[in-house]
Amino acid sequence: MMTLPLVSTVRARSVDVPMARPLRTASGSIPTAPLLLLDVVTESGVVGHAYLFAYSRLMLPAMTAIVGEVASGLAGRSIAPTRYMHDMRREFRLLGTQGLLGMVLSGIEMALWDAFGKTVDQPVATLLGGAPVALRAYDSYGMVDLPRDEAALRESVESGFQAVKIKIGYPDADHDVAVVRRVREIVGDDVELMVDYTQALDPPEACRRIRRLRDFDLYWVEEPVAAEDLAGHSFVRRATRARIQTGENWWFPEGCRAAIAASASDFAMFDLMKIGGFTGWMLAAGQAHAASLPVSSHLFVEASAHAMAVTPTGGWMEYLDLAGAILQDPCRPVDGHVTAAGPGLGITWNEAAIERYAV
Ligand SMILES: [Mg+2]
**Separation of CA 349 and ligand 1 centre (Å):** 27
Task: At 297, give phi and psi (nearest 5°).
Answer: -100, 165
Return the HEC string of the chain.
CCCCCEEEEEEEEEEEEEEEEEEEECCEEEEEEEEEEEEEEECCCCEEEEEEECCCHHHHHHHHHHHHHHHHCCCCCECCHHHHHHHHHHHCCCCCCCCHHHHHHHHHHHHHHHHHHHHHCCEHHHHCCCCCCEEEEEEECCCCCCCCCHHHHHHHHHCCCCEEEEECCCCCHHHHHHHHHHHHHHHCCCCEEEEECCCCECHHHHHHHHHCCHHHCEEEEECCECCCCHHHHHHHHHHHCCCEECCCCCCHHHHHHHHHHCCCCCCEEECHHHHCHHHHHHHHHHHHHHCCCCEEECCCHHHHHHHHCCCCCECCEEECCCCHHHECCCCCCECCEEECCCCECCCCECHHHHHHCEC
**Separation of CA 149 and ligand 1 centre (Å):** 19
**Separation of CA 45 and ligand 1 centre (Å):** 38
Residue 99: CB atoms within 10 A of its CB come to: 14
- Domains of the chain plus CATH, in order, are 7-121 (3.30.390.10), 126-349 (3.20.20.120)
Distance CA 357, CA 256 (A): 35
**Separation of CA 140 and ligand 1 centre (Å):** 9
Per-residue pLDDT of the chain (359 residues), as tens digits, is 889 999 999 999 999 999 888 889 988 888 899 999 999 999 999 999 999 999 999 999 999 999 999 999 899 999 999 999 999 999 999 999 999 999 999 999 999 999 999 999 999 999 999 999 999 999 999 999 999 999 999 999 999 999 999 999 999 999 999 999 999 999 999 999 999 999 999 999 999 999 999 999 999 999 999 999 999 999 999 999 999 999 999 999 999 999 999 999 999 999 999 999 999 999 999 999 999 999 999 999 999 999 999 999 999 999 999 999 999 999 999 999 999 999 999 999 999 999 999 99
pLDDT the model gives residue 20: 81
**Separation of CA 106 and ligand 1 centre (Å):** 19
pTM, rounded to two decimals: 0.97
**Separation of CA 219 and ligand 1 centre (Å):** 14
Burial class (CB in 10 A: 0-12, 13-18, 19+), 8: middle
Distance CA 276, CA 250 (A): 10
**Separation of CA 103 and ligand 1 centre (Å):** 17
**Separation of CA 70 and ligand 1 centre (Å):** 29
Residues with Cβ < 8 Å from 332, sequence gap 6 or more?
Answer: none
**Separation of CA 139 and ligand 1 centre (Å):** 13
- Any idea which residues carry the catalytic annotation? 167, 298
**Separation of CA 166 and ligand 1 centre (Å):** 9
Task: At 156, give phi and psi (nearest 5°).
Answer: -55, -45
